[in-house]
Structure 1
């Protein structure tokens, strides 16, 4: 695989809570679930630390145990990072750090994949239209919960307060039946990931996108997956994220595209197979 990636923080005064890394046959992308100011997580390390530790464990385990299913790999990684927290962290806190997970692994003649929560995997299929592999349970769960927040100007005090209330309510649906699933402290969440495989000879390339990068397509609707793949092929991840930032800058108060943050951490990984 030939891999290019870029990860850009949503704001210069906040840590980038995305993580992406690659080996010769495995690529991982995680999007840490940041909490609004005023909400405590019970963790002394923070979301960025969690995403980096889990991503590193995933990359290592997926590469050293190539026959182990990716869901099992993720479960092992979650368990290991939970043990790394130590006694200073309260892992029973409902806001303990969590992250979306997207993994691809080349195994023999196939490309295996796993997607958990709202990052996106886009398959550039040789004989057809691109295929977006998504886990839309978070989007379906949050749709009715975010109406008050989305009706307010992004960045206003009222929006900040509504975002905090939204985050607190959403937490009660995390890793529950009928809600949505993310990686945090419970290895059982891994069994709820979307998994599958595709023959390598059917693929030209794949793209792993955090929701801060995929929003050009799935939130802003300014292009489609075929055009997004063309941007990545021609201009790389920087070209895609540059277009995302231009769209965000054109709507800083979220009037055209209501959203929790005016600019989110954006990570794009493009893999030519």
Structure 2
């Protein structure tokens, strides 16, 4: 696989909590879940620390271990937990978390895994590519962010509503009837979406954190086919540039309600042929 990617933090003064790693036969994308001011953490480590350590562990596992991807994700989560389980309270629901997308070429197949609301796009040359995203967070979140979406961004009221919204989601994280995401419990890996597709059927893959997938999911800049072609022809940085241009036109979320003006955005394109 030939891999090209672009990644940009949501704010230049804050660390990018996304992670991308790749080899010739594997690629992994993680999107660390930001904590707004006022939301307590039971862990002394940052979200970036978590996403980068877990991403590195997963890439190592994918290149050394032929086990199924959910097993490798469980091993990676367990490994990172072992790095700080003696110093941090990892099972209070208030430790760092991240979405995960993993893709690996094995013989004549491409194996994939998606956990959380990052997006995997598989282009097999048909009119519309296959778009895979774990929407369980959206199902939980949508009815619980009505107040947040009704408020103008950048106001104290919006900041407080965002804090309450994030606190509420803690009650649904990594449990039945809620949503699943990489944190400290390796059992979350059992709930990932997985699949296999023949390498010969695939032209291009794209992996997007939600800050980049907003190009379609929130802003409807173009259909997925056009966005995939844009990334393949002009590079993933162009997709992020267009997302930022739209966001700057609506910094207070009056047309497109959202938690913050900009999110970390990462786009990865993999040419398989």
TM-score by length of 2: 0.98
Unaligned runs of 5+ in 2: none
Contact 1:7–1:266 (Cα < 8 Å) also in 2: yes
Instruction: Give the 5 Å matches for 1:73-152.
Output: 73-152=72-151
Q: Give the structure 1 partner of residue 160 of structure 2.
A: 161
What is the distance in 1 between the residues matched to 2:113 and 2:85? Answer: 28
How far apart, CA to CA, are the structure 1 residues paired with 2:153 and 2:222?
23
Show structure 1 runs of 5+ residues with no match: none
CA–CA separation in structure 2 for the residues paired with 1:89 and 1:126: 47
Between 1:17-26 and 1:37-46, the stretch displaced more is 37-46
Cα deviation 1:59-81 (Å, max 9, x = unaligned): 00011012x10000000000000
Shift of 1:245: 0.3
Q: Is the 8 A contact 1:41 1:93 kept in 2?
A: no
Matched residue, 2:183? 184
Q: Provide the residue aligned with 1:244 in structure 2.
A: 243
2:219 corresponds in structure 1 to 220
Aligned-residue Cα RMSD (Å) equals 0.9
Q: Distance in 2 between matches of 1:139 and 1:86?
A: 30
User: What's the counterpart of residue 234 of structure 1?
Assistant: 233
Q: Give the whole-Å Cα distance in 2 for the aligned partners of 1:108 and 1:126.
A: 21
Q: How many residues align?
A: 272
How far does residue 254 in structure 1 lie from its aligned partner after superposition?
A: 0.5
Offset of 1:128 from its aligned partner?
Answer: 4.1
Q: Distance in 2 between matches of 1:92 and 1:189?
A: 13
**Secondary structure in 1 aligned to 2:58?**
helix
State the TM-score, normalizing by the size of structure 1: 0.98
Match of 1:28 in 2: 28
In 2: Cα distance, 1:86 partner to 1:136 partner: 30
Quote the Cα distance in structure 2 between the aligned partners of 1:155 and 1:26.
40
Secondary structure class of the residue paired with 1:39: coil
3-state SS, counterpart of residue 105 of structure 2 = strand
Secondary structure, counterpart of 1:247 in structure 2: helix
Give the aligned partner of residue 4 of structure 2. 4
Secondary structure at the residue paired with 1:27?
A: strand
Higher mean alpha-carbon deviation, 203-212 vs 35-44, is at 35-44
Q: Is the 8 A contact 2:127 2:225 kept in 1?
A: no
Match of 2:268 in 1: 269
Residue 198 of structure 1 aligns with which residue? Answer: 197
**What CA distance in whole angstroms lies between the structure 2 residues aligned with 1:155 and 1:103?**
35
Matched, 1:16 2:16: yes
Post-superposition CA distance 1:43-89 (Å, at most 9, x none): 111100000000000000011012x1000000000000000114221
Q: Partner of 1:172: helix, strand, or coil?
A: helix
Deviations 1:230-250 (A, max 9, x none): 110111111110001001011
Q: Distance in 2 between matches of 1:156 and 1:17?
A: 24
In 2: Cα distance, 1:82 partner to 1:88 partner: 10
CA distance in 2, matches of 1:88, 1:155: 35
Q: Which region of structure 1 is more displaced relative to structure 2, 132-141 or 87-96?
A: 87-96
Q: Determine the C-alpha separation between the residues in 2 that align with 1:60 and 1:246.
A: 36
